[in-house]
């Protein structure tokens, strides 16, 4: 339920909302819908829900070619607002949003996400990061934070698609709780134009719309902090007018000339200063103007190394340590390899695996020694027979042969 309602006695629902809200016919094929309430899944008194909005959208005439979405809303629930935005995007008619008072929070990305956005003079747009309430333990809080980050990037993508810039740019704008006047919204690329008030009656109508909601919940924002995602041309102008101006002022101060000196005067003064300093750069005794930086002594170098928390070691010692470490790694690898082979050879002796598969099982041990050993340990011994089953006889002799040999003698 939304936090934007003023004193219930002072709060009046939009008449068109009371009619659920019936579209107002305008020009041929054009209808107007007013989003003049908080966005709330409860609907009814508490605001407008996505379901209520879509029900009205579905009842629009088939020949509707343009929907004018008139907005004065403090925003509300993110997912309800996204559902409203996507229902407008899915409608075949062109959707033109007009901010008549305020488009804050989730109402701002509905406004930015349709085909066109125009802002009445004196109206405002407010963008910020998503909020949430969470009750639970630390894990619940962490998950809520991750969910909010996902929602923030989703919303920032809507602003970036409308105004340009990156998602990260708009995440920073949202983090700053940024307010935009009508002109600033156009300059930032969020809005396409400012609709000028035609008279005092229009100005009063906008002010009345602005005052309809209790926006104190947005008081985290430090005044009207406004950010702009500059175009490439604006960025280039900023670089020239900001840092370049500062550089000229600094040069003028260093060279002892007027701060408002033109470029030619600054260049001439700089050339003169350089000529005065142009001395032979060669080092040596008696060379006027020569500036030679002496190399630090050994003690100074050691002191600097120690101050940085480092230790100086001779190159030979470092090379020896590296060689020993490499040999140690090789020895450890050999030990592991021999241990793996011993496990496989034991499995072969136990008749668990055939010798022809030795390399396969050795490679498996290298990839996952613990898992492979567990598999081998679970195999039944004697699956591969190596001992002789039964007894063999000499096929070259028989009882008949022995009788023949006793009668006639053995053949030579």
Residue spans of the domains in the chain: they are 15-229, 231-265, 315-377
Cα atoms in the 13 Å half-sphere on the side-chain side of 375: 10
Q: Phi/psi of residue 67, each to 5°? A: -110, 120
In this prediction the pTM is 0.49
Mean pLDDT of 396-406: 64
Return mean pLDDT, the chain: 78
Distance of CA 38 to the CA centre of its chain: 29
Q: Which of 21-25, 71-75, 243-247 has the highest mean pLDDT?
A: 71-75
* Chain position carrying tokens 């668990």: 352
Return d(Cα 245, Cα 105) in angstroms, integer: 38
Categorise residue 211: left if φ over 0, alpha if ψ from -120 to 50, beta otherwise: alpha
15-229 CATH pick, 2.60.120.380, 3.90.226.10, 3.40.50.300, 3.40.120.10: 3.90.226.10
Q: How do residues 319-334 score in pLDDT, each as one tens digit?
A: 888 888 888 888 888 9
Contact 37, 2 (CB under 8 A): no
- Residues 200-211 have a mean pLDDT of 55
Query: What tens digit of pLDDT does each residue of 184-197 get?
Result: 999 999 999 999 87
Q: Which of 32-36, 106-110, 298-302 has the highest mean pLDDT?
A: 106-110
Q: Can you tell me the distance from the alpha carbon of 212 to that of 2, in angstroms, rounded to the nearest whole number?
A: 14
Cβ–Cβ contacts within 10 Å for residue 129, how many?
17
CA-closest candidate to residue 255, choices 242, 268, 240, 241: 268
């Amino acid at each position: 339920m939304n936090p934007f309602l003023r004193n219930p006695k002072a709060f009046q629902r939009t008449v068109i909302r009371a009619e659920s809200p019936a579209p107002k016919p305008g020009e041929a094929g054009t209808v107007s819908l007013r989003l003049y309430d908080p966005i709330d899944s409860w609907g009814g008194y508490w605001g407008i829900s996505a379901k209520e909005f879509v029900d009205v959208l579905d009842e629009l005439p088939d020949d509707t070619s343009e929907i004018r979405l008139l907005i004065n809303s403090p925003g509300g629930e993110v997912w309800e607002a996204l559902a409203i935005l996507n229902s407008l995007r899915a409608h075949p008619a062109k959707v033109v949003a007009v901010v008549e008072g305020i488009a804050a929070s989730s109402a701002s990305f509905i406004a930015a996400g349709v085909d066109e956005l125009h802002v009445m003079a004196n109206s405002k747009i407010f963008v910020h990061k998503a909020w949430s309430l969470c009750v639970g333990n630390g894990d619940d809080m962490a998950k809520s934070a991750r969910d909010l980050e996902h929602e923030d990037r989703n919303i920032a993508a809507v602003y970036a698609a409308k105004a340009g810039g990156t998602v990260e740019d708009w995440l920073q704008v949202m983090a700053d709780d940024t307010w935009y006047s009508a002109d600033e919204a156009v300059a930032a690329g969020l809005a396409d134009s400012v609709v000028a008030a035609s008279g005092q009656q229009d100005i009063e109508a906008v002010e009345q719309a602005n005052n309809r909601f209790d926006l104190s919940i947005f008081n985290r924002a430090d005044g009207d902090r406004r950010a702009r995602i500059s175009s490439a041309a604006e960025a280039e102008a900023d670089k020239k007018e900001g840092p370049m101006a500062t550089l000229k002022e600094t040069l003028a101060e260093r060279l002892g000339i007027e701060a408002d000196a033109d470029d030619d005067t600054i260049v001439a003064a700089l050339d003169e200063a350089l000529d005065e300093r142009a001395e032979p750069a060669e080092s040596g005794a008696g060379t006027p103007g020569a500036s030679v930086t002496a190399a630090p002594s050994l003690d100074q170098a050691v002191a600097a190394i120690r101050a940085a928390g480092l230790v100086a070691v001779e190159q030979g010692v470092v090379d020896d340590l590296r060689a020993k470490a490499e040999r140690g790694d090789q020895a450890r690898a050999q030990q592991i390899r021999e241990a793996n082979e011993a496990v496989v050879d034991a499995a072969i002796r136990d008749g668990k695996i055939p010798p022809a598969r030795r390399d396969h099982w050795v490679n498996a041990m290298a990839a996952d020694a613990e898992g492979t050993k567990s598999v081998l340990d679970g195999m039944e011994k004697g699956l591969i027979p190596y001992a002789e089953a039964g007894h063999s006889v000499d096929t070259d002799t028989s009882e008949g042969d022995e009788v023949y040999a006793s009668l006639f003698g053995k053949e030579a």
